[in-house]
Amino acid sequence: MTTRQEWIRYLGLGGLVLVCLGLLGLAAWQLVQLERQMRIGASENMIWVFGQAQIEALNLALTLSDEAAAQQIQTRFDVLLSRLTLLEEGPQRRFLEDAGVSETLAGWRSGLLALDPAQGADMAALRAHVTALVAALRGKASLVMSHEWQIQAERLDRLGHLHRLALVSVLGAALAGLGLAAILIDRERRLMRGRLDRLRAEKLAGDLERERETSENHRRFADLIAHQLRTPLAVIDSAMHRLTRRGGPVSPELVSEKAAVSREAVARLVKLTDTALMMSRLERDGVLPHLGAHDLHDLAAAVIDDLMVAQGRNPSRIRPPAQAAPMVALCDPALTGEILSNLLRNALLYSPLDCRVDVEVSQSQTHIVCRIEDRGRGMSPEEIARAFDRFHRGSGHETLPGSGLGLTLARHLARMQGGDVILTQRAGGGLTAALYLPREVSA
């Protein structure tokens, strides 16, 4: 979006906000006006005021015709006078002018004052004046009443008008608010879409990176396997070559020696193929552990036996675990055998031929632990940290046979069974490889 369009959008948004606030302000102002005009003023009570003047005129007329006491006549006279005075004061006078009755009422008060009984006025003249006043007031009462109601009705009209204006303002503000909300929601939607797009792109990049890594791993694996295959094949080839070399007869001792060398090379090839197959199956998640209760003593002893038989090594180099209480773990015996064999072969391979390897089984609160301790060169903490990476070969061991997959595989298989493989430096030199497996909890 160009900057110009951005600006137009912002201006539109600001304009809507202003319209919304302006209309709300207008509505508030109109409501305040409405509230102010809703008060009832006493000056609006002209029907009563005029009616009271009429009644007092009648009262005085009655008192005069009753020929009551002078004091009483004086009181009624004063009260009537006060009523006429009231009619001549500001708000009342204006009302009567508007109603068009002020002229007919003018002069009555001064006429009355001229006939003050206290000044010994002529009672008959006073009576005649009051009677005429009563008639004049009666003639205008209906005009006062209709004018009063006219004013009230107009006032209600004004209130209604204000009310409608306030309503329209509020509705306008609501419309502007809706527009505002629509724009904001649209904006939010765009932002959300942008965010989703970005996430998708990131995921795609991650997938690509992973794919690249996998393919790189495969390439290195293939290289490694090819390299590892070469050594035993060369050994076999060399043995065959020696046996078939022209010249002197081949002694039976030489045949059996070369056969042993060849067989070991073949065994290594088989082992390598097995590991490669296992890795490949693991990558496809093709291996599921068959968990059962097994004594780790028995499993370790079986692995040691197999190793000795297969490789014809010096059995005294490995000190098998002392048989104590049964150490029953919940594990898959085949996978566990693979792990133990892996760790043991590492221990034998990476420590001098004349050094002992200890195997020991113990238990903790939650786990059965099989520790394999060698007295080799050991590993630094940094090496230990990298030891489980795929294809990582220990420094200085590049020439020894190995795939760089053994420890990776061992840890993976252990974790599949709810356990782990952990390497630590052995006190007094060498390395301790510990296999942890969950204890079998007999229900």
Q: Interface with another protein by CB under 8 A: which residues?
A: 39-43, 45, 52, 55-56, 59, 62-63, 69, 71-72, 75-76, 78-79, 81-83, 85-86, 89-92
Cα–Cα distance, 303 to 287 (Å, whole number):
20
Q: If 0-12 CB within 10 Å is exposed, 13-18 middle and 19+ buried, where does residue 85 land?
A: exposed
Residue 39 CA from chain centroid, whole number = 52
Beta carbon of residue 76, minimum distance to another protein (angstroms, whole number): 8
Beta carbon of residue 90, minimum distance to another protein (angstroms, whole number): 3
The residues that bridge with 420 in the sheet, in sequence order, are 436
Our CB check for another protein shows the closer of 81 and 123 to be 81
Beta carbon of residue 91, minimum distance to another protein (angstroms, whole number): 6
CB 60, CB 132: distance < 8 Å: no
Count CA atoms within 13 Å of residue 402 on its CB side.
25
Beta carbon of residue 190, minimum distance to another protein (angstroms, whole number): 52
Our CB check for another protein shows the closer of 42 and 288 to be 42
Our CB check for another protein shows the closer of 77 and 221 to be 77
CA dihedral 233, 406, 435, 374 (to 10 degrees): 60
Please report, for residues 7, 120, 320, 351, the alpha-carbon distance to residue 356 in angstroms, rounded to integers and kept in the order given: 81, 152, 11, 9
- Which residues, 6 or more positions from 61, have their beta carbon under 8 angstroms from its beta carbon? 127, 130, 131, 134
Beta carbon of residue 141, minimum distance to another protein (angstroms, whole number): 16
Beta carbon of residue 71, minimum distance to another protein (angstroms, whole number): 7
Our CB check for another protein shows the closer of 76 and 140 to be 76
Beta carbon of residue 45, minimum distance to another protein (angstroms, whole number): 8
Please report, for residues 135, 150, 160, 362, the alpha-carbon distance to residue 146 in angstroms, rounded to integers and kept in the order given: 18, 6, 21, 112
Question: Which is it for the CA torsion 60, 63, 67, 71, positive or negative?
Answer: negative
Beta carbon of residue 145, minimum distance to another protein (angstroms, whole number): 18
* Residue 191: CB atoms within 10 Å: 10
Our CB check for another protein shows the closer of 82 and 273 to be 82
Beta carbon of residue 93, minimum distance to another protein (angstroms, whole number): 9
Beta carbon of residue 56, minimum distance to another protein (angstroms, whole number): 7
Our CB check for another protein shows the closer of 75 and 102 to be 75
Our CB check for another protein shows the closer of 82 and 323 to be 82
Our CB check for another protein shows the closer of 83 and 426 to be 83
Cα–Cα distance, 258 to 263 (Å, whole number):
8
Q: Which tokens belong to 168? A: 């329209």
CB 311, CB 276: distance < 8 Å: no
Q: Which residues of 12-51 are buried (b: 16+ CB within 10 A; e: fewer)?
A: eeeebeebbeebbebbeebbeebeeeeeeeeebebeebbe
Our CB check for another protein shows the closer of 76 and 271 to be 76
Our CB check for another protein shows the closer of 109 and 377 to be 109
- Which residues, 6 or more positions from 80, have their beta carbon under 8 angstroms from its beta carbon? 53, 56, 57, 59, 60, 112, 130
Q: If 0-12 CB within 10 Å is exposed, 13-18 middle and 19+ buried, where does residue 196 land?
A: exposed
